[in-house]
C-alpha cells in the first residue's frame, strides 16, 4: 500500500498517523474489535472516498480514524461502489499483514433490500470479502465503520 494510503486522521482531530502504528497502540491496551468501512460521495468534479477504522470497545463506546481520498468523478454506480469494497479489503489486508490483526468486520454501505441500487453489489462484494476470510455486514445491520465514513464524506 502506498505511503500516503497509510496516513489516517482521528475523527475530530487534525494530525495524521500511520495506520498500523495507531492500530498497534489502540489494540495493545484493552479488548477491542476493529471494524473497517468505506463510503463515497460524488461532488461537482470529483468523488470523495472515506475509509475508516473503528475501534469498538465492548460496552464502552468506539473510536474512529479515517483517510479521505479525492479522485476524478466516477459516474458509474457499480464502479464507484466497487471502489468502496476495494478500499475496505485493501485496508483489512494491510491490517492483517502488517499489524498481525484480523479485522472483526468489514462494513459495506450497501443495502440488503432489493429496492435500493446498492443491493446489486451485495452478493459480489460479500462473496469477495468472504473468499478472503473476512466477515462483512450490510444494511440494515449495525455498520459503525460505514456510518462514520458516511458522516466524514459530507
Count of structural domains, the chain = 1
Q: What CATH number is given to the structural domain containing 70?
A: 3.30.420
Higher pLDDT, 103 or 9: 103
- 62-72/7-10 β-pairing: antiparallel
| pLDDT in the model for residue 8 | 80
Q: Whole domain around residue 55: which residue ranges?
A: 3-153
Mean pLDDT over residues 95-105, rounded?
94
Give the range among 5-9, 61-65, 147-151 with minimum mean pLDDT: 5-9
Report in angstroms the alpha-carbon separations of 48 from 42, 73, 88, 113.
6, 8, 14, 25
| pLDDT in the model for residue 52 | 95
Q: How does residue 13 score in pLDDT terms, banded at 50, 70 and 90? A: confident
Yes or no: say if 20 and 99 are a contact pair by the CB < 8 Å rule.
Answer: yes
Q: Rg of the chain's alpha carbons, rounded to an integer? A: 15
List pLDDT tens digits, range 29-78.
778 999 999 999 999 999 999 999 999 988 888 889 999 999 999 999 99
Yes or no: say if 108 and 143 are a contact pair by the CB < 8 Å rule.
Answer: yes
Give the range among 14-18, 43-47, 88-92, 96-100 with minimum mean pLDDT: 14-18
Cell numbers linked to 10: 482521528
Higher pLDDT, 151 or 91: 91
Give the range among 14-18, 50-54, 141-145 with minimum mean pLDDT: 14-18
Amino acid at each position: 500500500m502506498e505511503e500516503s494510503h497509510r496516513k489516517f486522521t482521528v475523527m475530530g482531530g487534525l494530525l495524521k498517523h500511520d495506520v498500523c502504528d495507531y492500530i498497534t497502540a489502540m489494540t495493545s491496551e484493552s479488548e477491542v474489535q476493529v471494524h473497517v468501512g468505506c463510503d463515497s460521495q460524488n461532488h461537482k468534479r470529483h468523488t470523495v472516498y472515506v475509509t475508516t477504522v473503528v475501534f469498538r470497545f465492548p460496552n464502552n463506546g468506539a473510536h474512529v480514524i479515517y483517510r479521505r481520498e479525492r479522485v476524478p468523478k466516477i459516474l458509474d454506480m457499480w464502479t464507484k461502489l466497487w471502489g468502496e469494497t476495494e478500499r475496505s479489503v485493501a485496508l483489512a489486508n494491510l491490517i492483517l499483514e502488517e499489524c498481525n490483526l484480523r479485522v472483526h468486520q468489514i462494513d459495506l454501505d450497501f443495502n440488503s433490500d432489493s429496492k435500493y441500487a446498492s443491493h446489486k453489489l451485495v452478493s459480489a462484494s460479500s462473496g469477495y470479502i468472504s473468499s478472503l476470510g473476512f466477515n462483512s455486514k450490510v444494511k440494515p445491520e449495525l455498520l459503525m465503520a460505514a456510518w462514520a465514513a458516511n458522516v466524514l464524506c459530507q
